[in-house]
Amino acid sequence: MKRDISKDLTIYLSNHYPYRSKTKSKKRYTVVLGFGGNIGHTKRLFDKIFLNFKKNSQIYIKQTSFLLKNPPFGYEKQKDFLNTVMIIKTNKTAKSMLKFCQYIEKRHHRVKLFKDAPRTIDIDIIAYKKGKNMITHHSHNLTIPHKHWKERASVVLPLKFIKKKKHR
């Protein structure tokens, strides 16, 4: 299914987007991940990545948003992006989660040519929580919470959808 929500933004639904688990998890951390891509069959790739996460016993997928097609930012001479948000539970530390996300990116042929370049997949760690406490982390390769998430429709709109669904 496809629905235009503005001139530049389109919502898509697929097999795993949106998704909501019917069970609970006792894993320690709640993590918000943002996915984006604009090279190849991005919808199909997102479904594969959902299954990669689902098969990992250290990760419990709590919820995903719809897929959002939106224009690129930064370097704008490229195809529109498809983005989504996934909320997971895990016992992995932030550093361990970053390594796992980078492994998934590499496995699906992510190449970093330059800042904001076209890509098959980009997985950002948006937020990390332990219970009700937000975890912050600052290092050369990871900042939590993600410093630009509030400025990006590709994160804000999917998160609003998830929050809305949570309260129904």
Q: What is the pLDDT at residue 168?
A: 46
**Position 154, amino acid:** S
Are 30 and 97 in contact, with CB atoms under 8 Å apart? Answer: no
Q: What would the two tokens of residue 91 be?
A: 């016992």
Q: What is the pLDDT at residue 164?
A: 74
Q: What is the pLDDT at residue 145?
A: 81
Q: What would the two tokens of residue 109 be?
A: 């042929």
Confidence of residue 167 (pLDDT cuts 50, 70, 90): very low
Nearest to 123 by CA among 45, 17, 19, 33: 33
Q: How far apart are CA 92 and CA 100, in angstroms?
A: 9
Total structural domains in the chain?
1
Q: What is the pLDDT at residue 9?
A: 95
Global pTM value? 0.92
Helix axes 42-55, 94-107, angle to 10 degrees: 130
Lowest mean pLDDT across 46-55, 100-109, 158-167: 158-167
**Position 71, amino acid:** P
pLDDT at residue 157 greater than cutoff 60: yes
At 75, which CATH number? 3.30.70.560
Look up the domain containing 65 and give its range. Answer: 2-166
Segment 42-66, tens digit of pLDDT: 999 999 999 999 999 999 999 999 9
Q: How far apart are CA 102 and CA 98, in angstroms?
A: 6
On average, the pLDDT of the chain sits at 91
